[in-house]
Amino acid sequence: MGKIYLYDTTLRDGSQKEGVSFSVVDKLEIARRLDDMGINYIEGGWPCSNPKDAEFFQKAKELKLKNAKIVVFGSTRRANTRAEKDNNLLVIIETGLKHACLVGKSSELQVKQVLETTPAENLTMIADSIRYLKKKGMTVFFDAEHFFDGFKDNSEYSLQCLKTAATAGADCLVLCDTNGGALPKEVTQAVKTAKKATYVPLGIHAHNDGEVAVANTLAAIEAGVTFVQGTINGYGERCGNANLCSIIPNLKLKMGVNCVSNAQLAKITEISRFVSEAANLTPETSLPYVGSSAFSHKAGYHVSGVTKWVDSYQHVDPAKVGNHQNVVVSELSGKGNIIYKAKERGLKVPAQGKEAKKLLEQIKLQESRGFQYDNAEASFDLLVHRAQSDYKPLFELVDFMVVVEKRRRPSTRKDTGEMLSEAMVKVKVDGKLMHTAAEGNGPVNALDTALRKALLQFYPALEVVKLIDYKVRILAESTGTESQVRVLIESTDGTEEWRTVGSSTDIIEASWLALADGLEYWLLKHNKKK
C-alpha cells in the first residue's frame, strides 16, 4: 500500500452538523492543530456561500503551516454558463490559494432531478470548471458527488464523469458516498472498477448514514484509493462523516500505514476534545480511540483481567492515541475495581481485610439509591476516606430548611413575577453549631450561600471554590414528580475541577448532598485548616 494522504473537511463539511458554527478564530486554531497532527490537506470552507469562510481564507494565508495545504471548496459552474463568468469559480480564484476542491454530480438521476439539466451538459460543466482552474495554476480535486448511488443506477455515466474530470486535468477524483447508504462490499467493487477506468489518483468521501462510514473508507483504501477525506469526531450533515479520529489510528496501528508519526498520533485525543469544545458540543464519551470511555472498564471481571494483563480487555495501548485507561466503580464492580480506582486516585485501600469489601458494599448500596460514581470522582474519594475508621469529617451537616416564596405587591396583591428563595442551615464544626441563613437565586443557590456562610468562618480559604455546572437527571420518569433524581455538580478553585453527586426523591436534598461533598472534598484534598 502506497502513501495515503489525509484530507480534513471539518471546517466545511463538519460545520454542517446541526448546532455547530465555528468562528473564524476557531477555524484558524483548528487548522493549526490539524497541521500539527500531520494532516495533508485542510478544506477551509466554501467562500462563495458565506462571508465568514471568505474571511477565513484571507487570514489562513498568515498561518505558518508545516504539513498541510489549505483547500478552498466550490462547485462546478452552473448549467449554460461560461466558466470565466461563473461567480463561484471567480471567488475561488480570488482567494489566491493554490488548491481547490470542486463538487460535481456523478449520478445521472441527480443531474436530471436536481440540476435539471442534461447528462451531456453536466459533463461539460465538469470539464470546463476544472480546465478553468487548472489554467489559473491551481491543483484541483474533483468531488464526484453521489458516485456510489450513481454507479449502482448507471455505472457507465458515473465512470464517464470521472474520465471527463481526469481528461480536464483533475489531480484527484474523490468518490463520494453522499447519502451514506453504501456498504463496504459495494464500495470495494465500485472503487476497483473506477481504478481500472482512469489513471488519476482516487479519493474517498463517506457519510455515516448507514453507520459504516469508517468501514467504507477502510474498504476503499484497501481497494486502492490514496486520498482519504473525513472530519474530526465524524461531525457532518445528518449522521455525520467518516471519523478521522477512528480512521487514522486504524491506518497507523492496524493496517501499518505510516500516515502520521507516533508523536502526531498521540495528539489525536487532544484535538478531538478541542474540536468538541470549539463546536460547543459535549465530547462523545463512547467514540473509539478518543472517547473518555474508550478504555474504561466497569465489570469486576474485566478489571480483574486488566490488573493481571493490561491488554486483556483493550485492543491498543491508549497512550498511543493520547488517551488513558479508566476503571469505573459501580454496582457491577468487584473488590478489584475499588482497589484499582483508589490507587489511581492516590488513595490506599488494603487488598486484604474488610475495608475494600465494606467500601464495595457501600457503593452498591448507594448506587441502588440513585448515586453514580462514574463521573463523580470527588464523591468516590470521600467514600474511601469515610470508610476508614479514623476518619473525622471536617464539618457535619445537621439540618437545613428552604423557603421559596412568590412575591406580590402588598397594596394590589398582584403577582410581581419575583421569586424569593431563602435557606437556613445548621452545620457543626469541632462541636460548635453554626446556624446561618441566606437568600439566593433559587433554592440551590440559597443553600450553597448559606452553607458557605457558615463554613467560611472556620475555613476562609473556601472562598476560592466556585460551582461551575449543575445537572439534574430524573431516574424514573414513570413516577413523575415523585421520581428519584440525581444531581451532578462540578466545582472549581480556578486551577482544578471536580465533580460530586447526590441522589434523593427530593431535588433539594440531592443538591445539598452534592454541594456538601464538593466543599468537603476540596478541604480534605488541600488539607485546609481553620
- Are domains 5-278 and 460-530 of this chain identical in fold? no
Q: Which class is domain 460-530?
A: alpha beta
What CATH number should be reported for the domain whose range is 5-278? Answer: 3.20.20.70
**Rounded Cα gap, residues 237 and 445, in angstroms:** 40
Strands 485-492 and 466-474: antiparallel
211: helix, coil or strand? coil
Beta bridge partners of 467: 491
Percent of the residues in the chain that have a pLDDT greater than 90, as a whole number: 67
Mean pLDDT (the chain) is: 88
Locate 230 and state its grid cell.
473525513
DSSP 409: -
Is the pLDDT at 448 greater than 60? The verdict is yes
For residues 162 and 194, the answer to whether their CB atoms sit within 8 Å is yes
pLDDT bin (cut points 50, 70, 90) of residue 350 is: low
Task: Convert the pLDDT of each residue in 82-101 to its tens digit.
Answer: 999 999 999 999 999 999 99
Euclidean distance between CA atoms 305 and 313, whole angstroms: 7
Which sign does the torsion angle of CA 241, 58, 103, 199 carry? Answer: negative
Residue 331: pLDDT band (50, 70, 90) is: very low
Closest CA to 206 of 189, 229, 233: 229
Q: Please tell me the distance from the alpha carbon of residue 70 to that of residue 61, in angstroms, as a whole number.
A: 9
CB atoms within 10 A of CB 480: 8
Q: Of 174, 250, 239, which is closest to residue 214 (Cα–Cα)?
A: 250
Cell of 309: 494483563
Distances (CA, A) of 457 to 20, 422, 504: 46, 20, 29
Cβ contacts of 25-30, under 8 Å, gap ≥ 24: 26/278, 27/56, 28/56, 28/59, 28/60, 28/63, 29/274, 29/278, 30/232, 30/271, 30/274, 30/275, 30/278
In the DSSP assignment, the letter for residue 526 is T
Distance CA 502, CA 259 (A): 46
Question: Which sequence spans correspond to the domains of the chain?
Answer: 5-278, 296-368, 395-458, 460-530
Cβ distance 128 to 83 under 8 Å?
yes
With cut-offs at 50, 70 and 90, classify the pLDDT of residue 376.
confident
From residue 300, alpha-carbon distances to 43, 65, 237, 325, 388 in Å are 45, 47, 39, 15, 22
Q: Where are the alpha helices (DSSP H) in 309-455?
A: 335-344, 354-368, 377-386, 443-455
What stretch of H or E contains 241? none
Give the containing element (helix H, strand E) for 149.
helix 147-168
Task: Provide the pLDDT for residue 344.
Answer: 63
Bridge pairing between strands 485-492 and 497-504: antiparallel
Question: 445 versus 370: which is more confidently predicted?
Answer: 445
DSSP code per residue over 264-323: HHTTHHHHHHHHHHHTT----TT-TTTSTTTTEE-SHHHHHHHHH-TTTT-SS-GGGGT-
Phi, psi of 266 (to 5 degrees): -70, -10
pLDDT of residue 474: 79
What is the length of the chain? 530
* β-pair type (99-105, 69-75): parallel
Is residue 255 a contact partner of residue 219, using CB atoms and an 8 Å limit?
Answer: no
* Exposed e or buried b per residue across 368-400, where buried means at least 16 C-beta atoms within 10 angstroms of its C-beta: eebbbbbebbbbbbbbbbebeeeeeebbebeeb
Which residue in 320, 328, 250 sits closest to 285, CA to CA?
A: 328
Residues 30/278, Cβ–Cβ less than 8 Å:
yes
CATH hierarchy code of domain 395-458: 3.30.160
Summarize the confidence of residues 489-501 as an average pLDDT. Answer: 92
| Strands, E assignment, 146-249 | 172-177, 202-206, 227-230
Residue 496's contacts (CB-CB under 8 Å, 6 or more residues apart) are: none
pTM above 0.95, yes or no: no
Please tell me the number of Cα atoms within 13 Å of 480 on its side-chain side: 1
- Residue-wise pLDDT for 207-227, tens only, equals 999 999 999 999 999 999 999
Would you state the pLDDT for residue 420? 84
pLDDT digits (tens, 9 = 90+) for 90-141: 999 999 999 999 999 999 999 999 999 999 999 999 999 999 999 999 999 9
Q: What distance in Å separates the CA atoms of residue 85 and residue 281, rounded to the nearest whole number? A: 40
* Cα 12 to the center of its chain, rounded Å: 17
Q: How many other CB atoms are found less than 10 A from the CB of residue 529?
A: 9
Do the bridges between strand 99-105 and strand 139-145 make them parallel or antiparallel, or are there none, so unpaired? parallel
- 385: pLDDT strictly greater than 90: no
